């Protein structure tokens, strides 16, 4: 089992992303996406992105500040597991992948963005699946995440960086969080959005970390022969 860091435009990543139950509306802010390999076969994707700005249950769990400017800084150290698609029916595999991914993204996030991750969040739409089972975040509970609340609707970000609720989703979403022991919330971070030099440096470091697309294709071909 291994993860390969790729661009969101990677064809293999997009193949799995299109079949994810939450539509892809694009992701604002910081983000890292991975292909999930089981042997030489790509069996899914998993990713992390900037935390959502507003969620009361999450805010209370991490003890986030009410003052917006302070809260924005603190949120830089919380990562949203915004996508997780796994297409391989092995027992407990989802929990194993989550554990591997957390350790991997903690290293990659700090290396790329310079911020130690202090915690994770995710939102699971609870609904009955085609096989009669209910999606309820069991793999997160098995990985020691806590269900801290329930919310409804999708959050999406407008051009001014403000989150807007999309109430078209009627199913409830379960809010899961995980705090990393010994890690403090961020209190200062220089974003690259309005600094061209920082943006170029960030893009260069990101490209250096990405897996070679050709190597990934060759791995898949070798596994099929």
What are 122-170's pLDDT values in tens digits? 999 876 665 666 678 899 999 999 999 998 655 554 444 444 555 554 5
Higher pLDDT, 221 or 97: 97
Alpha helix locations (H) across the chain? 11-17, 56-62, 68-75, 93-113, 138-142, 196-209, 213-224
Higher pLDDT, 81 or 131: 81
Q: Which two tokens stand for residue 31?
A: 């983000």
Give domain limits for the chain.
2-189
Q: Which residue has the tokens 């699971």?
A: 124
CB 30 within 8 A of CB 49: yes
What are 49-76's pLDDT values in tens digits? 999 999 999 999 999 999 999 999 999 9
Predicted model pTM: 0.81
Higher pLDDT, 77 or 163: 77
Sign of CA dihedral 55, 56, 62, 63: positive
Could you tell me which CATH class the domain 2-189 is placed in? alpha beta
Torsion of CA 158, 159, 160, 165, to 10 degrees: 0
């Amino acid at each position: 089992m291994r993860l390969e860091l790729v661009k969101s435009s990677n064809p293999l990543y997009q193949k799995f992303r299109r079949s994810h139950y939450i539509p892809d509306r694009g992701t604002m802010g910081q983000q890292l996406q991975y292909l999930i390999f089981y042997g030489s076969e790509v069996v899914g994707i998993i990713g992390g992105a900037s935390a959502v700005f507003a969620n009361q249950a999450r805010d209370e769990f991490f003890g986030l500040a009410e003052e917006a400017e302070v809260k924005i800084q603190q949120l830089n150290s919380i990562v949203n597991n915004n996508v997780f698609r796994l297409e391989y029916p092995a027992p407990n595999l989802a929990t194993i992948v989550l554990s591997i991914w957390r350790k991997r993204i903690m290293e990659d996030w700090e290396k790329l963005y310079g911020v130690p991750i202090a915690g994770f969040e995710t939102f699971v739409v609870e609904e009955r699946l085609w096989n009669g089972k209910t999606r309820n975040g069991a793999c997160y509970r098995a990985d020691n995440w806590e269900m801290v609340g329930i919310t409804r609707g999708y959050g999406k970000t407008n051009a001014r960086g403000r989150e807007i609720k999309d109430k078209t989703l009627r199913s409830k979403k379960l809010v899961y969080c995980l705090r990393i022991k010994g890690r403090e919330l961020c209190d200062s971070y220089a974003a690259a959005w309005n600094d061209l030099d920082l943006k170029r440096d960030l893009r260069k470091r990101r490209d250096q970390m990405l897996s070679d697309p050709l190597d990934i294709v060759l791995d898949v071909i070798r596994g099929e022969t």
